[in-house]
Amino acid sequence: MTKKIVSFIAFSVLALLMVFAVFACEKAIIPDDEENGVGDPDGNLRVTVYMIGKTPFEAFTRGAAVGSTRGSVSATESGLLRLNFAVYDKQGTRVKQVNQTSDNGSFGTASFQLEPGTYQLVVVGHSSNGNPTMTDLTKIKFTNAQGFTDTFLYYSAGVVVTEESQELPVSLGRIVSMCRFVMTDNYPADVAQMRFQYKGGSGAFDATTGLGSVNSTQTLYFDAAEGQKQFDLYTFLHDDEGTIHLQVTAYDADDNVLQEREFDVPMERDHITWLTGAFFSGSGSSSSTTITVTVNTDWSGETHLTF
C-alpha cells in the first residue's frame, strides 16, 4: 500500500470522525425534540396551556391561519398553529425543547424529565411557517421566510423541579403589535405582487420581557391575484409604544415597480393600528386624518388612521 493511499485513508477517517464530533456537539448544544413531540411522557414536569390571551385554549385553537406566497403569512383569524416549549437552566442554557403543530393530538401539553433544580420556562404560541430559533431566550427569532404572525408568550424565571411529578398550567399573553393595512381601491390590471417592508420593530424578542431585542427589516409578499386588500403586519416593539416606517410597493409580473408609498405608523403592544385608504388612486399623502380608539374582547385596543 503506497504512502499516498495510506495518507488518503487516514485523512478520510479523520474527516469522518470530525463530522461525527460536530454532529454530537450540535446535538448536545441544540437538544430539540422531534416535531410534534410530547417530550418525556413520564417526565416530572408536565406543562399544559390553558389560556391564550383572554380566550380558553380549546376555543382559541379552533381558528386557522391562511398562508400566502414567498414565505409570508396573512391575517390569522383567532387560531394557533404552533407551540414551542423550551426549558433553560438558571444561566440561560437551553436543556430541553418540544415543538408542536396543531394537528398533534397532544397539542398544548408537553412533559420533561429534569434533574431537581430551578429552571426558566418559555412557551411560545404562533402561526408562522416554521419554528423560531430559541437557543438564546433573550433573542427568540422569526425570519422573513417563516412569516410573522400573532404571537403569545409565557415566561417563568423560577420553575422549581423536584423528583416528584408536577403539573404546571400556563397562560400565554400576546406580545406583538399589529398594523392592519386596508386598501379601499381596486388593483390595476398589471399589478402582480405587493410587498410590505417595515423597520422600527423587531423579528426577535426577549422572552424575559416580551419586547423586541434586535433591529429588523421585516418583509412580506402577497400575490395580487388572490385579491387580498387587508394585510396584517406584526412586529415586536422595543417598548410598549413605538413607530414603524412602512414601505408598500406594487410590482408587475416582471418585478417592475408600479406604485410605492411610505408611512410612519404609531404602534402599541397588544394593539391594532388600522391604516386605511386608496393606495393606487389616492392623493399620495400619508398623513392621518382620523384617529379613534376602541377596545374589543381580544386585543387591548385599536387605533384607526386614514391616508
Q: What is the pLDDT of residue 116?
A: 97
Contact 121, 153 (CB under 8 A): no
Residue 278 pLDDT > 80: yes
| Residue 23 binned pLDDT confidence (cut-offs 50, 70, 90) | very low
Query: What residue spans define the domains of the chain?
Result: 33-174, 177-306
Number of Cβ within 10 Å of residue 99's Cβ equals 22
Q: What is the pLDDT of residue 59?
A: 83
Q: For residue 48, what are the contacts with CB-CB under 8 A and spacing of at least 6?
A: 108, 109, 167, 168, 169, 170
C-alpha cell at position 250: 406594487
- Residues 189-209: what's their mean pLDDT? 98
Residue 74 pLDDT > 50: no
Question: What is the percentage of the chain residues whose pLDDT exceeds 90?
Answer: 71
User: Is pLDDT larger for residue 186 or for residue 69?
Assistant: 186
| Residue 297 binned pLDDT confidence (cut-offs 50, 70, 90) | low
Q: What average pLDDT does the chain have? A: 84
What is each CA distance from 185 to 75, 146, 229, 250, 302, in whole angstroms?
19, 29, 9, 13, 23
Three-class SS of residue 10?
helix
- Residues 65-88: what's their mean pLDDT? 61
Q: pLDDT for 36-60, tens place per residue?
A: 678 888 899 999 999 998 889 988 8
Q: What is the pLDDT of residue 38?
A: 81
Alpha-carbon 79 to chain mean position: 14
- Architecture per CATH, domain 33-174, reads as Sandwich (2.60)
> Nearest 5°: CA angle at 158, between 156 and 162?
120
Q: pLDDT for 109-146, tens place per residue?
A: 999 999 999 999 999 999 999 999 999 999 999 999 99
Residues 13, 249: Cα–Cα separation, whole Å: 54
Q: What is the pLDDT of residue 112?
A: 97
Q: What is the pLDDT of residue 62?
A: 65
Residue 219 pLDDT > 60: yes
